[in-house]
Structure 1
Amino acid sequence: MVESRLIQGRYELLDRIGRGGMGEVWRARDTSLGRQVAVKCLKPMGPRHEHSYLRVLRERFRREARVAAALQHRGITVVHDFGESDGVLFLVMELLDGRNLSELMDDNRRYPLPVPELVDIAEQVAAALDYTHRQGVVHRDLKPANVMRLADGGVKICDFGIARLGDMGYGSASSLSSRLTGTGIAMGTPHYMSPEQIGGGQVDQRSDLYSLGCVLYELATGAPPFDMDDAWAVLVGHRDRAPRPPRELCPELPAPLEGIILDLLAKDPDDRPPDAADLHARLLALGPAAHAGTLPRPLPGIAPRPPRASVRLPDPPRLPGWARNMTTGSKATGPGPRPVLPPDPVVSLTGAWTGVAAGALTGPPAKGGAGGRSAVVELPSPEVLTRLAGRHQEALRLGRLGRWAEAGEAHRGVAAERELILGPDHPDTLASRYEAAFTLSRQGRTGEALREYARAAAGRERALGPDHPDTLAARQETAYVLGQLGKHVEAHQVYVAVLAARERTMGPDHPDTLRCRHNLAFNLGRLGRPEEAYGMARDVAAARARVLGASHPDTLVTRYEVGYALGRLGRWTDALRTYHEVAAARQRVLGAEHPDTLAARYEAGICLGRLGRSGEALKLFRELVDERTQAQGPDHPDTLRARHCLGVNLGRLGRWEEALAEARDVCALREGLLGADHPETLVSRREIAVGLGWLGRWKDALVLYREVAQARQRVLGADHPDALTSRNDEAHCLEQLGRSTEAVELYRQVAAVRRARAGRGQPHGG
C-alpha cells in the first residue's frame, strides 16, 4: 500500500502486521529515537476522491490521534505521533507484544477462558474505561480485536478511531462528515453494539459497558451473546431479546460473575452499572469466588464445542434502515470463511416504517384475519434498493456541481419511489425529502424549502424520536430557512429548542451543537441583538478552536461571524483586524483563490469603506473583481457583489458618473441572472437611485426609489426592514424635491410600522 518505506523521513516501515478496511498497520523503526513502533496508515488518497471527502477523512483521522494522544494510562495504547506524508495519513503508536482477545480466543480453540484470566482482563479493562470516561471519552467500538493481552499480563485498549466523533448520519447540509457514511449509520460492530447505538439513541459511557459485557460473555462462553451470522438477527437480539444466561452454556462460571455480565447486558442503560468505577469495584469484590470455577484448557485432539446461543427471534422487528445491508462484521471467531445465510424471512419491516405502503405491498388481509397480527411486509429486492441508492448519490453529485434544479428533481423522484416501497416515514424516504428541501433552498425557493424541511422534521420525529440527530438536523434547517424568509423571531425559537436538545444529548462541545450555536449567533445579529450575537460567536469560535483547531474551516466561519458582529457594533477597526486574520488563515488552509478566502477579503473591503479608507477599499475591490472573474466568471453573483462595492466606493470618492455607470451595469446583469425582484437586483437599483440623487437628478431617483420600495413590499412584506428603509429613501427624495408634507407623512408611517414591529419583538432593521 505504502510506496515509500520511509514515512515523513523518520519512520522506516519493516513489515505489515495488520490490515483493515481503511488501511494497514506496520511494524516500523523510529530512526530518530532508535525504537520500534507501530505505524497505522490510511490508504493513499488519489484524485478519485472529492475534496470534501478528503477534508473530512483527514479531520476524522486527526481527531482519532488527538483523542488517543490525550489519554495517558497504563491500560491505553500510547500514541507518539501523527501526520500526513505524501498523501498517506499515519498514526505512530507503541508496538505491543501480545495478542488481542480475538486471537487469544482462537488460540484457545474457542473454549472459554479460565475464570481467573477472565476476571483479570475484566478488571484491567474496567480500570482503563474508568479513566477514559472521566476524561469525557467514550470508545464506542469496544470489541475483542480492540483489547490487547500483553506478554507480561497487562491489558491495553486500542483503536479510538470512532471515539467521541458523534453521529455521522445526514445532519445539516454543511456537515461534510455526513457524506462519508450515508443515512443514519450507527458506528460500531454488530456483535458488540449497545441497544442505544442500534436505535440511534444517546450514547454515553454505559454503552461501552454494554460492549464490555458482550466481550466478557464471549470470553466466558466461547461465543458472543447473540451469535448469528445475519446482521439483522444480531441487531434484533441486542435490542429485543434477553441473552441466554452464560451459566447455561458454561455451568462452571461463578454465579456472581454471571450476575455482573448480565447486568452489563441490560437493555436499559439505567439498569447497567452506573460507571466503570462501580464495575471495577464489583469485580475486585468477587475475591475467591472468581477462582472457584476455573475451567481447563482443551486437550490436544479434542474438537472445541461451539456454545452457540439458541435464540428464537421475536415478532417482526422494526429496525433502522441502515441495518438492512449490514454484515455482521469482524467478531472474535476462528479463521476460515463462514457460510452466508439468507435473511430470516421473519426479519422484515412492518408497521410504522412501511405505513400506507404496507397495504400496497401485501394486498388486503385474508378473511378472518381481523384481530390477528399485522401482515409481514417483505422488503423490496436488493436490486431496487441499490438502484435507488445509486440515484440518490447521483442527485447529490448534481448538487455538488451546482445543478440544483436537476438535483431537486432527482431527489423528489427517489423520495416518491422510496415512499411507495418503504413508507413515508422510513429514514431513507425522509433523507431524500431532506435533500430535496436543500436543493429548493439553494434555488432561492425558500417557501417551498420550508414546507419540505418541516415535513422531513415531522416524519423524523415520528420515526426516530424528537432528539434523534437527523430530526434535529431537519429542525435546524427549518430555522435557517425561516431566517432566510426574514422570520428571525420564529427562527430564534427553533434554534433555542434544537440547541437545548443537542446540548442534552450530545454535549456542549459536539460539532453539531457548536454548529447550532453558530447559527443562533448569526440569527441574533439579524434580530438586532449584536451584543449577544458577538458574545455567542466569540464563545463558539473559542470552543471550535479547542475542539477542531484554530485553522479548521468551521472555526474560521465562526471567526468570520465575530467580525460581522463587531461591524454591527460599529467596531470597524476590530472587525477589519478579524477579517484580515481569517483571510490569512483561509489562504494558508484553502488557498488564495478559494471563495471563502475571497469572502473574508471582501468583508475587509467593507470595513475599509466604513472606516473612510475608500481609496484602499477601491483598490481591494478592483483586485477582487479580477480574481473572482478569473476564478468564478464575470457573471457569478460573488463577482457582481465585488463590482457593486467597487461602485459604492467610487461614489464615496465623489466619482459619481463612474459609480452610476457601474451600478447600472451590475443591475442589468443581476436582473438577467437573478430576476427583477431579487434582493440583490433591488440593491443595485437602489444604488442607481443614490447616484442619480448625488448628481442632482432627484425626479429620476424618486421613480427608482419607489420601484424598489414597492418590489420589496411585494416580495418581503410591508414591515420588512429593507422595505421600510426603501420608504425612508423615498421620503428623503421627496424632501429634496421640496415636497415636505408628503415626506413627513411617509416618515410618520414608517415610524408607526417600526414601533408596531418592535412591539412584536421583531428587529428594527436599518
Structure 2
Amino acid sequence: MADSRLIQGRYRLLDRIGRGGMGEVWRAKDESLGRHVAVKCLKPLNDRDRTGHTFARVLRERFRREARVAAALQHRGVTVVHDFGEADGVLYLVMELLEGRNLSQLLEDNRGHPLAVADVVDIAGQGAAALAYTHRQGIVHRDLKPANIMRLTDGTVKICDFGIARLGRDIGLTSRLTGTGIAMGTPHYMSPEQIGGDRIDHRSDLYSFGCVLYEIATGVPPFDLDDAWAVLVGHRDTPPDPPRHHRAELPGYVERIILDLLAKEPDDRPQDAGELGHRLEAGRAVSGHVPTVVSYPAARALPAAPALRPRPGRGPSREPGMPSWTRGMTTGHKAAGAGLRITPPDPSAGLSGEWIARPVTGPAEEPVVPQRPAPSPEVLAGLAGRHDAGLSLGRLGRWTEAGEVHRAVAAEREHVLGPDHPDTLASHYEVGFSLSRTGHPADALREYEHVARARERVLGPEHPDTLAARQETAYALGRLGRHLEAHQAYTSVLAVRMRVMGPDHPDTLRCRHNLAFNLGRLGRLEDSCAMASDVAAARARVLGPAHPDTLVTRYEVAYLLGQSGRWHEALSTYQEVAEARAQALGRGHPDTLAARYEVGISLGRLGRSAEALTLYRALADDRTRVHGPAHPETLRARHGLGVNLGRLGRWEEVLAEARDVCAIRERALGPDHPDTLVSRREVAVSLGWLGRWAEALLEYRHVADARTRVLGAGHPDALASRDDEAHCLEQLGRGQEAVELYRKVAVLRQQGAADGR
C-alpha cells in the first residue's frame, strides 16, 4: 500500500502528518470527490503465531467497531468519519482533515503554562456540547485527554479519536476486548471507576474531561506524578488540590465545576454534559468579564501536587481494587510537565496515540516563526473569489457548505491580512451568518460579538458594518431566548440608525422589524403588533406592497394578531400574504408554502376544520413534491392534517397518520427530537379517544420520560406530559397512582415557580 500510495483506488496518500504507537495518519486526497482528507492507517499485524492472530483479530474487531460508531456521529464538535475499510492487510479510517492544534500541543506551545481563562471556558463549553451529543447516542469515549481534543484555527473544538468508544449497551463485547490486555485509557485522565474495573458510563467521560480542564486551566494534571501506580491511586483515593492553589486568578465558578467533575463517586459529579454546559453558561453570566490574556514570568514554576506514597506494608501490585492490566503500566504521555518533550507515545493507547506531528523548533526550543510576506494581488483576488462563492452557496440555501468556505477564507485572511482587517472581519461575519442559519445561535453569537468589537475598534461605533454586526448579535441573543438583552441591543442600534440613516432607510426598517418581533417574545403583544404594522406600512411605501421584506413584516403582523386571539384578522392577513407570494415567487416557493401553512392554522383556530383539512392535504402534496416525503416541513403539514382529522372526530385516520409521521420523524430526527415526541403524543391522544387507554398510557409515559431526560423534570413540557400520564391513569381506574403523580407534578411546578422568582 505504501508503494502504490493509493488506497482502494480512491485515497491518494500525500504526506504523513502524524505517527503513533499503532500506526500513522496521512494527509490524502479523495480522488472521487476531489477533497483533502486525513487517512489513519494501522500498522500491519503479524498473524502467524497464535497469540498474534488473537491480538490481530481483536484489534480488527475493535477498529471496525470504532469506525462504525464514529461514522454515525454527526456533530460540529466531533471529528467526521467519511469511510473505513481494509486494504492489503492494513486497516484504515478516512476522516475530515483538521487544521489546528490539540490541547496537548497548545500547552506545549505555551511552555507548559495554562491557557487563557477565556479559552478554558470556551473549550469547556464546546466540549460539553459535544459530549452531551455523544452521550445521548449512548456512546462513551473512555479515553478523553488533551491529545484527543483539537482546537481548530477558527476556534472550533472537536473531540477526536473515538478509538475505544463503545455503545453504552455494548458491555459484553467491551469486556471481552478489555480482557486482551489493551489498556483502556491514559493514567493521568482515568476515572476512579475505570481504574477499579467497575462499570463505566458517561460520567467517567465527565471525570476525564475534568482532568483535561484542570490541566489546561492550571498547567498541570490533577496528579502530576511520574509513577503510574501513584497517579492511579491519586485518582482513586486522593482529593486533588483546588485549581486556584495553582492559579489564583481562576474564576471561582470554574474551580467549582472542575472539582465537581473530579468527584470520586460518579453520583457526586454533574449527571450529564448538558448540566455541565448550563453551569458554564450560568457562571459566565454571573462572573462578567473573563480575562483573555494571562502573562506569567518566564522563570515562574507552578507547584506540583504532593507525592503519593503506597500504604505501609503493601506493594503496588497488591493494591486492592486495581485490575491486573495496571501492573507495570507506564504513565504514558501527558500534556504538561517536565517529561513532556521526551516521553514517547504510549503504545498502549492504541488508536489514541500521538497522531499529530510536532512543530519544528529552533536550537533554543523557541518555535520557528516564519516571516509573513505581503500578500500578492493574485492571493487577495483568489480569496475574494472564494468569499463570493461562499455568498453564492448561501443564496442557494447551502448554508453548511457556505460556512465551511467562509471559515477557511477567514483563517487565510487572518493569516495574510491580520485579524482586524475589514476583509477578515467580513469573512468572520459570514461565518456567523452561516452558523445562525444552520441552527448554531450560540456559536453565531460568539462570531458576531468578536466582529462587532473589532469593527467598533477599527471602523468606529456608527459605521454601517459595525451596526450590522451589532444587529446580528441582537438576533442571535433572541434565538437563544435572551430576549431582554436582545431588546436592549436592538434599541441601541436603532437609535444610531435613525439618527444616521433616517427612519425609512431599509436597514433602519429591518432593525425596527426585528425589534417588533422581539417585543412579541417579551410578551408585549400590543406594542409588537403596532410597531410591526408601522414597519409594514413603511416598507410598502418605500419598497412596494409585494416586496419580500414587506410581506415578511405582514406575515409577522398576522402571527401577532393570532397570538392576540384576533384570528379573523390573522386569517385575512395570512391569505393576502400567501396570494402575494404565490404571484411573486410561485406557489411552490418555501415562503408561499409557509404562509399557506399558517392559513391552515388560522382556519383550524376558527373551527373551520374541513377547510383546513383540504388545505393541509394539498400542502402536504406540494411539500412532498418540492422537499420530499421526509422533510420536516412536509411532516409538519401532515401533522396539521392529522390534527384537523381529530377535530372532525376521525380518530382511526388520525392514529394511522400520526403513527406514520412519528415513524418517519424518529428515523429522520431521532427518537427524542421535540417533533418526534409531538407526533408520539398525537398517537397517544388518538388511542385515548378510541378508548385504548392501556396503549395510550405506554405512549404518554414514553413521551414524559423522554422529555424529562432531555429537558429536565421541571420543564413545562415534561410536566404537561406527566399530567397526560396521570389523566390516563385516571381513565384506567388507577386513581391513587394518578393522585400521587399529580401531587409530584404540583411540587415540581411550585419549585420551578420559586426558582423563577
After TM superposition, the score normalised by the length of structure 2 is 0.47
Between structure 1 and structure 2, the one with the greater Rg is 1
